[in-house]
Structure 1
Amino acid sequence: MKTLYLLGLFFLTTIFGYSQSNISLNECYESLKTNYPLAKQRAILEQQKEVELSAIKAKTLPQLNLNAQATYQSDVTEVPVPSIDIESLNNDQYRATLTANQLIFNGGKIKASQGLQNIISNRKQQEVEVNLYQLKQRVNQLYFSILLIDDQTKLLNVREQQLNSKLKEVKSGIENGVLLPTSDKVIEAELLKILQQTKEATNNKSKLIASLSSLIGVSIPIETEFQKPLLSIVESSDLNRPELALFNLQKQEIGQQQNILSKSLVPELKGFATGGYGNPGLNMLENDFTSYYIVGLNLNWNVFDWNANKKQLQALDYSKELISNQEEVFRLNINTALNEQQKEIETLESTITIDQQLISLQQEVVNTSASQLKNGVITTSEYITELTKLYETENLFNQHKTQLELAKANYNTLKGDIK
Structure 2
Amino acid sequence: MKSKILLLCLISPWLWHAVQAQPITIDECYALARENYPAIRQFDLIAKTSRLDIQEANLHYLPQVTLSGQATYQSEVVDYTEIFGGSPLPSGITLPVLSRDQYRVLGEISQLIYDGGQIRQLKDRLRANRQVEESNLEITLYAINSRINTIYFSILLMDAQQQQIELSRSNLRHQLEKSEAALANGMAFRSNVSELKAELLQYEMQLTECKSHRTALLKILSLFTGRMLAEDIELIMPRIEARSASINRPELKWFDSRVALYDAQRHQLRPAYLPKITAFLQGAYGRPTLNMLKNESGPWLVTGLRFNWSLSQLYSLDNRKRSITLFQQAVDTERETFLLNTKMELVQQDEQVNKYEQLIKQDEDIIALRAAVTRSAEA
TM-score (normalizing by structure 2): 0.88
**Any idea what the Cα deviations from partners look like across 1:370-391, whole Å, max 9, x if unmatched?**
78xxxxxxxxxxxxxxxxxxxx
Residue 284 of structure 2 corresponds to which residue in structure 1?
276
Residue 28 of structure 1 corresponds to which residue in structure 2?
29
Task: Point out the structure with max Rg over C-alpha.
Answer: 2
**1:218 correspondence with 2:219:** no
Residue 253 of structure 1 corresponds to which residue in structure 2?
261
Residue 311 of structure 1 corresponds to which residue in structure 2?
319
Residue 75 of structure 2 corresponds to which residue in structure 1?
74
Residue 100 of structure 2 corresponds to which residue in structure 1?
91
- Give, in angstroms, the shift of residue 365 of structure 1: 5.3
- Give, in angstroms, the shift of residue 320 of structure 1: 1.1
Distance 1:79 1:112, change over 3 A: same
**Any idea what the Cα deviations from partners look like across 1:33-81, whole Å, max 9, x if unmatched?**
2221111111111101110110010011111111122223333332225
Letter in 1 for 2:324: L
Residue 337 of structure 1 corresponds to which residue in structure 2?
345
SS at match of 2:286: strand
Separation in structure 1 between the aligned mates of residue 243 and residue 175 of structure 2, nearest angstrom: 47
Residue 263 of structure 1 corresponds to which residue in structure 2?
271
Residue 375 of structure 1 corresponds to which residue in structure 2?
none
Letter in 1 for 2:70: Q
**Any idea what the Cα deviations from partners look like across 1:126-169, whole Å, max 9, x if unmatched?**
11112211221221111111100011111122222222233222
Q: Which moved more, 1:47-56 or 1:226-235?
A: 226-235
- Give, in angstroms, the shift of residue 367 of structure 1: 5.9
Residue 241 of structure 1 corresponds to which residue in structure 2?
249
Separation in structure 2 between the aligned mates of residue 309 and residue 226 of structure 1, nearest angstrom: 60
Residue 198 of structure 2 corresponds to which residue in structure 1?
189
Letter in 2 for 1:349: E
SS at match of 1:276: strand
**1:145 correspondence with 2:146:** no
SS at match of 1:80: helix
Separation in structure 2 between the aligned mates of residue 144 and residue 113 of structure 1, nearest angstrom: 48
Superposition pairs of residues 113-124 of structure 1, within 5 angstroms: 113-124=122-133
The answer to whether the 8 A contact 2:272-2:313 is kept is: no
- Give, in angstroms, the shift of residue 244 of structure 1: 1.2
Residue 38 of structure 1 corresponds to which residue in structure 2?
39
**1:360 correspondence with 2:338:** no
**Any idea what the Cα deviations from partners look like across 1:113-134, whole Å, max 9, x if unmatched?**
1111111112211111122112
- Give, in angstroms, the shift of residue 193 of structure 1: 1.1
The answer to whether the 8 A contact 1:100-1:272 is kept is: yes
The answer to whether the 8 A contact 1:21-1:223 is kept is: no
Separation in structure 1 between the aligned mates of residue 211 and residue 74 of structure 2, nearest angstrom: 92
- Give, in angstroms, the shift of residue 235 of structure 1: 3.3
Letter in 1 for 2:279: G
Separation in structure 1 between the aligned mates of residue 95 and residue 214 of structure 2, nearest angstrom: 102
TM-score (normalizing by structure 1): 0.80
Distance 1:160 1:128, change over 3 A: same
- Give, in angstroms, the shift of residue 305 of structure 1: 4.3
**1:208 correspondence with 2:217:** yes
Separation in structure 2 between the aligned mates of residue 66 and residue 286 of structure 1, nearest angstrom: 25
The answer to whether the 8 A contact 2:274-2:309 is kept is: yes
Alignment match of 2:115 (pick from 101, 106, 113): 106
Separation in structure 2 between the aligned mates of residue 64 and residue 230 of structure 1, nearest angstrom: 66
**Any idea what the Cα deviations from partners look like across 1:83-105, whole Å, max 9, x if unmatched?**
35234233322211111111101
Letter in 2 for 1:211: I
Separation in structure 2 between the aligned mates of residue 182 and residue 20 of structure 1, nearest angstrom: 44
**Any idea what the Cα deviations from partners look like across 1:203-241, whole Å, max 9, x if unmatched?**
2112222332333333323222111111213333x3221
Distance 1:12 1:89, change over 3 A: farther
Separation in structure 2 between the aligned mates of residue 12 and residue 203 of structure 1, nearest angstrom: 23
Letter in 2 for 1:171: E
> 5+ unaligned residues in a row in structure 2: which ranges?
83-87
Residue 417 of structure 1 corresponds to which residue in structure 2?
none
The answer to whether the 8 A contact 1:244-1:327 is kept is: yes
Letter in 2 for 1:286: K
Separation in structure 2 between the aligned mates of residue 49 and residue 12 of structure 1, nearest angstrom: 45
Separation in structure 2 between the aligned mates of residue 305 and residue 39 of structure 1, nearest angstrom: 41
> 5+ unaligned residues in a row in structure 1: which ranges?
372-419
SS at match of 1:98: strand
Alignment size in residue pairs:
363
The answer to whether the 8 A contact 2:273-2:314 is kept is: no
- Give, in angstroms, the shift of residue 183 of structure 1: 2.6
Letter in 2 for 1:189: A
Q: Which moved more, 1:252-261 or 1:76-85?
A: 76-85
Letter in 1 for 2:262: I
